[in-house]
């Protein structure tokens, strides 16, 4: 499909100490990224995981790369095997890795080498409650988060759950990088609004790259 905005030059916006949004960075690669998501999901399908508290998540998830993040009644963990397929998580596509590294570098994090990529799929109404990304062994590496499809409101706070939250709209192709001082900052996604993205359909995808081990 012809995307009139495909040539828009990415630009950066500071978010917090150590955190930055690189607007539209993924847009010119979106066709390739979406095809790669489909390939991952053909091997390790999207599923609604259950939290240790017994809550079924509204966001559907899968993973690629050496390690994948899962939750079940017993807790959260990173593992090399997909508990659903019983096989290794699919390899991280080269286009994913390249984008994650380029985004990290733009935000000042050289040599980012992710070993885990969580893929979230939101349908209208789906949300992600306020949380910290703290299951990774390596907190010196940043988180790189890529948004595709429908827009979503991202909340970004501080080290305490009660810290004030900034609200930013994340649109198709936007990439958020947080590390350093803000690596453990609380964040959330508000319930996705109804809509249909011209390229993606009634969905939002989010890729989050981490160094887990
Ligand atoms: C996450 O916090 O892991 C995902 C955030 C998002 O979907 O933008
Ligand atoms: Fe997160």
Listed by start position, the domains of the chain span 17-208
Strands 11-16 and 187-189: unpaired
Go through the chain and tell me how many residues it has: 213
Cα 75 to Cα 70, 171, 199, 212: the distances in Å are 8, 31, 36, 16
pLDDT along the chain (213 residues), means of 10: 67 98 97 98 98 95 98 91 97 98 98 98 98 95 98 98 98 98 98 98 98 97
pLDDT of 5 reads 56
Q: What atom in ligand 1 is closest to the CA of residue 206? A: 7
What are the φ/ψ torsions at residue 211 (nearest 5 degrees)?
-105, 105
Binding residues for 2-oxoglutarate: 120-122, 204-210
Binding pocket residue ranges, ligand 1, CB within 6 Å: 120, 128, 145, 147, 154, 187, 189, 206, 208
pLDDT of 73 reads 86
Architecture (CATH level 2) of domain 17-208:
Sandwich (2.60)
pLDDT of 8 reads 83
């Amino acid at each position: 499909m012809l995307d009139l905005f495909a040539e828009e030059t990415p630009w950066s916006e500071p978010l917090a100490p150590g955190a930055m949004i690189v607007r539209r960075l993924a847009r010119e690669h979106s066709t390739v990224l979406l095809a790669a998501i489909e390939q991952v999901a053909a091997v390790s399908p999207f599923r609604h995981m259950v939290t240790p508290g017994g809550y079924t998540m509204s966001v559907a998830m899968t993973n690629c790369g050496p390690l994948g993040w899962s939750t079940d009644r017993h807790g959260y963990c990173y593992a090399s095997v997909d508990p659903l397929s019983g096989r290794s998580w699919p390899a991280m596509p080269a286009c994913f890795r390249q984008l994650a590294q380029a985004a990290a570098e733009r935000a000042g994090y050289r040599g980012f080498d992710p070993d885990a990529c969580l893929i979230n799929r939101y349908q209208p109404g789906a949300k992600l409650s306020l949380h910290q990304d703290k299951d990774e062994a390596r907190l010196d590496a940043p988180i790189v988060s890529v948004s595709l499809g429908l827009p979503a409101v991202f909340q970004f706070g501080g080290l305490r759950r009660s810290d004030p939250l900034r609200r930013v709209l994340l649109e198709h192709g936007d990439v958020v990088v947080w590390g350093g001082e803000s690596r453990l900052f609380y964040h959330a996604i508000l319930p996705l609004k109804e809509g249909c993205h011209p390229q993606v359909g009634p969905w939002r995808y989010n890729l989050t790259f981490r160094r887990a081990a």
